[in-house]
Structure 1
Amino acid sequence: MNLHIPIFDGHNDTLLRLFASKHNDSFFESSQGHIDLARARAGGFAGGFFAVFVPPAPGEQPANDDDLPERLPFAYALETALAMTALLFRIEAQSAGQVRVARTVDDIEHGIRTNTLSAILHFEGADAIDPEFHTLEVLYRAGLRSLGIVWSRPNAFGWGVPFRFPHDPDIGPGLTEAGHELVRICNRLGIMIDLSHLNEAGFWDVARLSSAPLVATHSNAYALCPSPRNLTDRQLDAIRESDGMVGVNFHVGFLRRDGRRDAATPLDAVAEHVIYLVERLGIDRVGFGSDFDGALMPHELGDVAGLPRLLETLRRHGFDEASLRKLAHENWVRVLKKTWRR
């Protein structure tokens, strides 16, 4: 019997890991990466946002990590995104009922009650969405329920932030006209808009245009770590005012004040960001957005099976059981109820 508090997570890149493995890896039991079903069970992982991220096309990697990659060719982005989406549906079909693609909040709540892993189909960047939005309508019918307008590169809809440190997120212009329309259509369909990776001007465009709560699925506090991937106090205030939320990213480079990619970073660093965000946003507007399988985790956490150690760290920092349940899954359920259409 699993006695852990169920944890619903704002972001993982497990589909990318499996896609890149060329069928040499498995979601159900694996020695690679951070998430498989066996370790998820051990860690109390109830599911989360499974990202479809299209990597740079061959030969299009930037010269260094500080540069924004070029826009992706649309045909390549669409082909790759559909292949990764199909991979998630194959996992569901092969799971014998243990994994379910969640399309409604009821699906997630049922999964938590029945120990069924719920997977939200999320696109990390709208590179595979055409400017006429035909693919968006089709993908929504298939199960797409969350969309990041950009990854850390430009596309037809807006501009992302590079991985410079230290740097602020005020880089480049705001959303394009197509980006404005993308926000409106996502609101109409009930697709959650993810603000992680979006530059500051784009953030404020979404804040002005969107009728839904503002959500950053896997970002931290800029005041504690001045990475452009993190959120300034002014951005956090806007998220609070919209009754949105932030999923705390476990990547050590977005936790540490010096920005170093050092796996020896203690779990206390995660707790520091959780505490700061709770003080700024309120206990109802903070959750987890691990970035499992897409980033460097603290050794003390390791992988998804180490999530109980994170909860124990937060207990040690004064969070009671009711607060931990909010951080672990109740806040994600709350914000999705305000965002999705039933």
Structure 2
Amino acid sequence: MLIFDGHLDIAYNALVHERDPRWSVDETRQRELDPPCDDGRGECTTSFVEMREAGVAVALTTLLGRAKPWVKPGRPHAFRGGDWPTQEMVHAWAHGQLAYYREMERQGEVRILETAPQLRNHWAQWQQAVADGSDTSKLPIGLIITMECADPTVAPDRLYDWHKLGLRTLLLTHFGQGQYAAGNPSEDAGNPHDLDGPITPRGRELLREMVKLGMPLDLTHLSDTSFWDAIEYFPGQVYSSHSNCRAISDQQRQFSDDMIRAVLERDGVLGVALPINMIRLDLIEGPPWTPLKHEVKLEHLADHIDHICQLAGSAEHVALGTDTDGGFGSETCPHGYDRHRDIHVLSEILGQRGYPQSAVTDIFYGNWLRFYQRVLPT
């Protein structure tokens, strides 16, 4: 079964962790054994090779960086955290990530999808290859470019420039206070910049520019107040690329039932993610979340899917946004997930719970496919 993955950080993982996605997972793991890498990246789970093995025909992938004027210059491994002192710096950093995607496109590894017809044609090529039993190892992987934190957009009216270069959606902010909105708290306990707060006046301007361009808004990572501001101020299409249910894993990073209903009322889709703290915070210790990893299983991720389906009344609004390639590794993914192809175990779990095959295919690709055919330019 093909997969449409709603969230990966491919360029960030390449440029920060120096992992070439053209290598296999095993090759990357071997390269990082001697000397062992100790920068928190975790054990590799995803690459272009692995994505093709898993049947990932399309992925939403990021330009990721944050402008934090208060960060200390000269801190160790500064860029590895994704924070820069100014928007101009993070603007340049994001352009570097976009340049990486474009180079991978020139080499035939990926195909950047900017319009609905491009998405339809690309998906049809993958479907036909699978139906014919053809080799998919040389097919380009389709990428839709998002910005995980809008800080690289130096001014709201500069969003047009990014859109012209292929950006098709964005998140207003990431962890902590951003230039356009407040994000959910980071893992830095006591950080004074992790406060809940509203969308900023510049954030409202950015939302107006998004409406002009017809861009959908990803509500992931917003603080509670900024989330509800976005629902009020943004009349366009909303969704969440990678958030789970607060009713099951009780932390501000996840969506409350009222938030999920707000997305459903706007005909949005919610992608569920694999980090174990997002699945069952009560079953682990940490960070670093490793001591009780074996307690969190893919069955627990299915609980989040069940919960969204119960609120929606169908399986038409939940999808996958795995987030499994950047900033953490297999040790902080659910038990039973070692690399990306293992996500197919989830289809068996859903089948055992009574989900018909049509619902499983919707969750694995159908819901995202219809959503992006609807919101991408025609």
Q: TM-score, normalised by structure 2?
A: 0.80
Identify the residue that residue 297 of structure 2 maps to in structure 1. Answer: 266
> Does the C-alpha gap of structure 1 residues 61 and 152 become closer, same or farther in structure 2, counting only changes over 3 Å?
farther
Q: Give the counterpart letter for 2:163 in structure 1.
A: Y
CA displacement, residues 303-322 of structure 1 (integer Å, 9 cap, x when unaligned): 22212222222222222110
Percent identity (aligned): 23
Looking at structure 1, the residues matched to 253 and 203 of structure 2 have their Cα atoms a distance apart, in angstroms, of 20
Cα 1:239–1:143 change in 2 (3 A) is same
Letter aligned with residue 161 of structure 1: N
Find the aligned partners of 1:292 and 1:318 in 2 and give their Cα distance.
27
Matching residue of 1:293? 325
Contact 1:163/1:228 (<8 A) preserved: no
1:133 counterpart SS class: helix
* Cα distance in 2 for residues equivalent to 1:56 and 1:75: 8
Contact 1:271 1:313 in 2 (8 A): yes
Alignment partner, residue 158 of structure 1: 181
Larger radius of gyration: 2
Query: Which letter does structure 2 place at the counterpart of 1:284?
Result: E
Name the CA distance, whole Å, in 2 between partners of 1:218 and 1:199. Answer: 14
* Correspondences of 1:297-316 after superposition (within 5 Å): 297-316=333-352
Deviation string 1:8-67 (CA, Å, 9 cap, x unpaired) is 011112211101144xx32222333222222112111112111111268884699xxxxx
Give CA-to-partner distance per residue, 1:117-163, whole Å, 9 cap, x none: 210111100111122422x2111011001101000122221110114
Describe the SS at the equivalent of 1:244.
Answer: coil
How big is each residue's C-alpha offset from its partner over 1:266-286, in whole Å with a ceiling of 9 and x where there is no partner?
110110101111111231111
Asked if 1:27 corresponds to 2:21, the answer is: yes
1:216 alignment partner in structure 2: 240
CA contact 1:54–1:80 (8 Å) conserved in 2: yes
Q: Return closer, same or farther for 1:188/1:34 CA change in 2, 3 Å cut-off.
A: farther
Q: Is the 8 A contact 1:78 1:127 kept in 2?
A: yes
The CA distance in 2 between the partners of 1:339 and 1:253, in whole Å, is 31
Q: Does 1:321 align with 2:357?
A: yes
Counterpart residue identity of residue 322, structure 2: S
Q: Counterpart in 1 of 2:90?
A: 77
Task: Please name the residue that 1:93 is paired with.
Answer: 106
Aligned length: 326
Distance in 1 separating the partners of 2:363 and 2:169 = 19
Q: Equivalent residue for 2:231? A: 207
**1:12 alignment counterpart:** 8
2: CA distance, partners of 1:112 / 1:86: 24
Aligned counterpart for 1:231 among listed residues 239, 252, 255: 255
**Cross-structure match for 2:62:** 51
Distance, in Å, in 1 between the alignment partners of 2:246 and 2:156 is 35
CA distance in 1, matches of 2:73, 2:324: 24
CA distance in 2, matches of 1:330, 1:200: 29
Instruction: Specify the SS of the correspondent of 1:155.
Output: coil
Cα pair 2:297 2:336 within 8 Å, conserved: yes
Q: Do the aligned partners of residues 149 and 298 (structure 1) sit closer, same or farther apart at CA in structure 2, a change above 3 Å counting?
A: same
Q: Tell me, which stretches of 5 or more residues in structure 1 are unaligned?
A: 63-67
Contact 2:110 2:142 in 1 (8 A): yes
In the superposition, the TM-score normalised over structure 1's length comes to 0.88
> Who is 2:166 aligned against?
143
3-state SS of 1:152 partner: coil
Structure 2 match to 1:125: 149
Which residue pairs with 1:246 in the alignment?
270
Q: In the alignment, is the contact (CA less than 8 A) between 1:7 and 1:47 conserved in 2?
A: yes
Q: Which SS does the other structure have where 2:60 is aligned?
A: strand
Who is 1:65 aligned against?
A: none
